[in-house]
Structure 1
Amino acid sequence: MNSAALTIGFVMLHTSPLDIPGTKDAGGMNVVVQAQAEALARAGHDVRIYTRRSDAAVPKRVEVQPGLAVIHLDAGPARLLAKGEHEAVMDEFGHLLDAELELDPVDLLHAEHWFSGIAALSVARGRKIPLVQSYHSIAAEPDSPLTDGERPESPGRLAGEKLLASEADLIIAVSEAERQTVIDRLGGDPDQIRVVPLGVDTELFYPCVTTVCAEQRDWLKRGGRPEVIVVGRLHPLKGFDLIIEAIALMPAETRPVLRLVGAPPPDGDEYAQGLHEAVARHGMLSTTAFDGALRRSELAERIRAATIMVVPSHSETFGLVALEAAASGVPVIARATGGLREAVIDGTTGVLVTGDDPQVWATEVANLLGDAERLERMGAAAREHAVNSSWIASGERLVEAYSLACAGRTA
């Protein structure tokens, strides 16, 4: 460890980096935090991730790799909670975090999501260390359209996010779109916000080049069905229902296979059931697969086996799965919203679509699937785009931001 090394405490109250993305409330945030933490640890920094224990069998401390540990705090019951229930354990979590830091201090705290920020705010102030805040998603008013963002899952979220925008020493955004949302909706100071682009594991996510892939391409040329993949939690914000309706509008004899990867959050069974019912209602049972949540290696295999990925999310601060598809050489059709407009280069690595008309989405899917030359060209451009994004570079940008926060707190 060199003289410039930092001791960094990531705070993830409501979800653990050890959870499989697509299960519980685990999603892109879990992937981002774990990847950045691993990159920081490899660079010689001492990193801890503090999360709530949701399983009594999980050890207090899990050593992920040299320099990186996950520490479980016993705030609330040791069981899975619905996302909105975490507001009730923020104070307890903060007290336990403070006790941990009394024994094993850190140079700064980096809170992920608003639950973590509120829990860590008084701890950071009391210990006179910087608080860096990442939102990952920003709530919209309950009566606003889904394109504005998530609904506040608990009463204090809207006020809590605004408080953190003014009280945190530094805010990390993952895209210019998120940065602007923090400014416009939360009143954040532009000088206190830094954009740290996400990376992608290009060794895990890579184009399909095996003999199996060659056989698959030959099969498609002989009239086999191509595959459309959608990845994310089974939650209304992700728009899975829209893509089911779009694929249903395509002629049954040429309809692509639709693969849905992900599981519902703890309070999302009703929406998930509705997706299954829609598939059955449209007579798509034989051409639709619900894979549930997959481990990262399995997900990578599924993505590179697909012909295209569709990201119909109503709102995304970035859309990490779009970048993972790009690294896999798979073109993406995504909604023209938020950070997806930065993750997908319209007309080059994929296609951006506006609105909720299933026929528009169906037409874009059919047009891209029907143009083999365009598919190949976009796939190659997508891979080239993705290889310029690395978690090492993302970690380096984080350290630069941390240095600014530490300097500001000292001043």
Structure 2
Amino acid sequence: MRTLRRIAVLSLHTSPLAVPGGGDAGGMNVYVRAVSRELIAMGAQVDVFTRSTVEDQEPVEYPRPGARVIHLPGAPADTVAKEELPRLLPRLEAELRRFTAADNGGPYDVIHSHYWLSGAVGLQLQHDWRVPLVHSMHTLAKVKNRHLQSGESPEPQIRITGEQDIADGAARLIANTLTEATELKELYGTAGDKIDVVPPGVDLSNFTPEGRDEARRSAGIAPDVFHICFAGRIQALKGPQVLVNAAARLKELCPDMRLQITVIGEASGTSKLELGPLIHQLGLEETVRLLPPVGAAELAEHFRSADVVAVPSYSESFGLVALEAQACGTPVVATNVGGLPSAVSHGVTGLLVDGHAAQDWASALRELYEYPDFRRRLGASASIHAAAFGWEQTAALTAHSYQHAVDHFA
């Protein structure tokens, strides 16, 4: 990192300081925060530009030496939904330019934008600052539209066009998996030599397998209870409704099972998913408990207390929750879609399910319930597998992508 002293990170639609699982906060927030931390450890200074979360917020926070989080006014998250941001991007861009013009930090060496809204601004800054833009899509509109659920609106054309402009104009693109890289090539026509595949990481100091028995006792979960955990935004795309339907089928298949489902997160998006009515309809009030989003330390405790973590997403660029759960020694049952096969090794660290049928999910969960030795072997392998995904490696590969962008930028 000798030649890359200052990095501008754009995360305009959601703050890396937000707790994942609520609003628009999810794995991307964890990603931005963790990679920034590791880049600082490598000697860089990182400025993260995001929108304010409330009116009259302090303009700058200093979460650690070498890092600044700059809150841009004009589109606070408590009053302006993400879907409204495209029309407000010029205002956010103007505030960003106003801040950098008055700042004495000097020019940036590289810009790293996250999600298409940030990339749209990043393209303008790349042109005007003569600094290369490296972009991470995180999710792709064309892929999401392939997996729309009932009641969900398709991603708008403005996003599809914006992503195409970024794919064409950014100096480099970072994909989470080979699957995402292939989607960029096939759906957006991106040249393969412009894409760097950089897997996300996991905080291995926090998500650890030690203390599983204590975590279970602290949570008040009896040894004979089969405990399944879900963590994420409560929206149809993430599939918590799949788990609830599978739980009802599981109770039919195994009437003597003592089953507990813990769902951690809150509703988000324009088509909010209400799990309460479905839980009531299926008579699962005593089985399913709904909890609000929690911080990383408490989330790790929930994962350690679980027999299985379910990731029933319809689309997932990687699936950070799956990796964090495995780092806690908990096997994962996930949909065989997107980047999840890269995070979960079928039959080794968990199980992959084709599709979202309640019967298929119930069968996979039943297998882990009825064969506890197999479940424990998966958990042991899961923690070993996840140990190879430290954030240090993610940051090092990201820095390599930055350097490549700088070296070849014209």
Contact 1:234 1:268 in 2 (8 A): no
Q: Which residue is 2:259 aligned to? A: 256
Q: Which residue is 1:109 aligned to? A: 111
Q: Which residue is 2:188 aligned to? A: 186
- State the number of aligned residues: 402
Deviation, structure 1 residue 229: 0.5
Task: Return the letter of the residue paired with 1:99.
Answer: R
Q: Which residue is 1:333 aligned to? A: 333
Q: Which residue is 1:323 aligned to? A: 323
1: CA distance between counterparts of 2:340 and 2:41?
A: 29
**Aligned CA-pair RMSD:** 2.2
Query: Percent of counterpart pairs with the same letter?
Result: 33
Task: Return the letter of the residue paired with 2:291.
Answer: D
2: CA distance between counterparts of 1:39 and 1:14?
A: 22
Q: In the TM superposition, what whole-angstrom CA distance separates every residue of 1:379-410 from its partner, at most 9, and x where no partner exists?
A: 1100001111111111111111000001111x
Asked whether 1:267 is paired with 2:270, we answer: yes
Q: Which residue is 1:129 aligned to? A: 131
Contact 1:81 1:266 in 2 (8 A): no
Deviation, structure 1 residue 6: 2.2
2: CA distance between counterparts of 1:167 and 1:117?
A: 10
Q: Which residue is 1:364 aligned to? A: 364
Q: Which residue is 2:163 aligned to? A: 161
Contact 1:84 1:153 in 2 (8 A): no
Deviation, structure 1 residue 120: 1.9
Q: Secondary structure at the match of 2:290?
A: strand
Deviation, structure 1 residue 77: 5.2
Q: 1:218 to 1:138 in 2, by over 3 A?
A: closer
Contact 2:110 2:132 in 1 (8 A): yes
2: CA distance between counterparts of 1:255 and 1:123?
A: 56
Q: In the TM superposition, what whole-angstrom CA distance separates every residue of 1:202-240 from its partner, at most 9, and x where no partner exists?
A: 11011143652586999865xx22110111101110011
Q: Which residue is 2:204 aligned to? A: 202
Contact 2:144 2:155 in 1 (8 A): no
2: CA distance between counterparts of 1:319 and 1:78?
A: 24
Contact 2:309 2:333 in 1 (8 A): yes
Task: Return the letter of the residue paired with 1:366.
Answer: R
2: CA distance between counterparts of 1:71 and 1:381?
A: 41
Task: Return the letter of the residue paired with 1:32.
Answer: Y
Q: 1:254 to 1:214 in 2, by over 3 A?
A: closer
2: CA distance between counterparts of 1:303 and 1:69?
A: 31
Q: Which residue is 1:226 aligned to? A: 226
Deviation, structure 1 residue 256: 1.7
Contact 1:146 1:315 in 2 (8 A): no
Q: 1:152 to 1:119 in 2, by over 3 A?
A: farther
Q: 1:21 to 1:219 in 2, by over 3 A?
A: closer
Q: Which residue is 1:146 aligned to? A: 148
Contact 2:9 2:48 in 1 (8 A): yes
Deviation, structure 1 residue 142: 8.2
Asked whether 1:307 is paired with 2:307, we answer: yes
Task: Return the letter of the residue paired with 1:242.
Answer: V
2: CA distance between counterparts of 1:232 and 1:210?
A: 21
Q: Structure 1 unaligned segments of length 5 or more: list them.
A: none
Contact 1:117 1:164 in 2 (8 A): yes
Deviation, structure 1 residue 258: 0.7
Q: Secondary structure at the match of 2:142?
A: coil
Contact 1:135 1:173 in 2 (8 A): yes
Q: In the TM superposition, what whole-angstrom CA distance separates every residue of 1:7-65 from its partner, at most 9, and x where no partner exists?
A: 00110111001111111100000000100001111111000100011312421000010
Contact 1:239 1:313 in 2 (8 A): yes
Contact 2:245 2:358 in 1 (8 A): yes
Q: 1:131 to 1:34 in 2, by over 3 A?
A: same
Asked whether 1:64 is paired with 2:66, we answer: no
Asked whether 1:11 is paired with 2:10, we answer: yes
1: CA distance between counterparts of 2:213 and 2:162?
A: 53
1: CA distance between counterparts of 2:283 and 2:256?
A: 12
Q: Secondary structure at the match of 1:294?
A: coil
Q: Which residue is 2:289 aligned to? A: 289
Deviation, structure 1 residue 143: 6.3
Contact 1:87 1:154 in 2 (8 A): no
2: CA distance between counterparts of 1:180 and 1:239?
A: 24
Q: Structure 2 unaligned segments of length 5 or more: list them.
A: none
Deviation, structure 1 residue 296: 1.2
Contact 1:10 1:109 in 2 (8 A): yes
Q: Which residue is 1:352 aligned to? A: 352
Q: Secondary structure at the match of 1:249?
A: helix
Q: Which residue is 2:26 aligned to? A: 27
Task: Return the letter of the residue paired with 2:62.
Answer: E
Q: Secondary structure at the match of 1:360?
A: helix
Deviation, structure 1 residue 161: 0.5
1: CA distance between counterparts of 2:15 and 2:194?
A: 27
Contact 2:145 2:154 in 1 (8 A): no
1: CA distance between counterparts of 2:231 and 2:379?
A: 18
Q: 1:106 to 1:212 in 2, by over 3 A?
A: same
2: CA distance between counterparts of 1:142 and 1:334?
A: 17
